[in-house]
Amino acid sequence: MTLHLIDHIVFVLLAVVFPIWDFFWLRKRAARILAGETELRMKLYHRTIGQEWVMAVALLGLWFALGRDAGAIGLVLQGGAWAWAGYGLAVVVCALIGLQAWSIIRSPEKGAALLAEFSSLSFLFPHTLKERRTFDAVSVTAGICEEVIYRGFMIAYLMALFGAPFWVAGLVSSIVFGLAHSYQGPAGIPRTAAAGGVMALLYGLTGSLWAPMVAHAVMDVAAGRLTYTAFSKIPPASRGTIPPRERALGETG
């Protein structure tokens, strides 16, 4: 693939400019939501859906305008033994996510532990049924659009720029993916980078983005539904209590 100036600009925007902008923008929104402006959560969801679809569609439009084919960005299903192994692994990943979700839903203790682990992200996860349904749409959007951006485009770009093999480019793209989620805090960066690594593995095995798209969407939907279920078991009077980490975020935002 022959790189153009626009490819470099897109990479800098995706890897540097947008993550920095989102980090500070989300800190301000988080502080306001934690301070009681909970209606901003739905606005955040709608913004995320719109922004990611615009980015993905614009990127694909650029891709095809430069005469590149769909297979080079992972939009064509592939066959072969490795591809079927990747599809099978995607099924296993989705099944494990489902089993873990079922285990947490059935256990109040695990639900409480989940909320403690993600306490700094309570501004982001759904608290009401309406929010949960919209978060499902956010999850599907992320599953499709972020795979096009971080696995499809970014891996192809890094391979062309450095002549790197797929797995090296996949590792670097996963690190960038983690840094793009730096608004989730120090623990969120390696967590999302690891998730990106799993998606890169599925992409590498199948040669297609469809398997990681499904796995990514399932993972995010499960996270939203688990946190919603956990929040729904908390008495309404207790939901306004901001844990120390969140209170610090609100005060510095």
To the nearest 10°, report the CA torsion of 45, 153, 71, 86: -70
End-to-end CA distance of the chain: give it in Å, rounded: 43
According to the model, what pLDDT value does residue 106 have? Answer: 83
Name the 3-class secondary structure at 140. Answer: helix
Note the pLDDT of residue 234. 61
Would you state the pLDDT for residue 138? 97
Query: What pTM was estimated for this model as a whole?
Result: 0.89
Q: What is the pLDDT of residue 243?
A: 43
- What pLDDT is recorded for position 105? 82
∠ CA 77-81-83, nearest 5°, is: 30
User: pLDDT tens string for the chain (253 positions)?
Assistant: 899 999 999 999 999 999 999 999 998 999 999 899 999 999 999 999 999 999 999 999 999 999 999 999 999 999 899 999 999 999 999 999 999 888 888 887 887 787 787 878 889 999 999 999 999 999 999 999 999 999 999 999 999 999 989 999 999 999 999 999 998 888 889 999 999 999 999 999 999 999 999 999 999 999 999 989 888 766 554 444 444 333 333 333 3
- Structure tokens that stand for 170 in this block: 């996949």
Q: What is the pLDDT of residue 235?
A: 53
pLDDT at 188: 87
Query: What is the reported pLDDT for 240?
Result: 44
Residue 88 is predicted with a pLDDT of 96
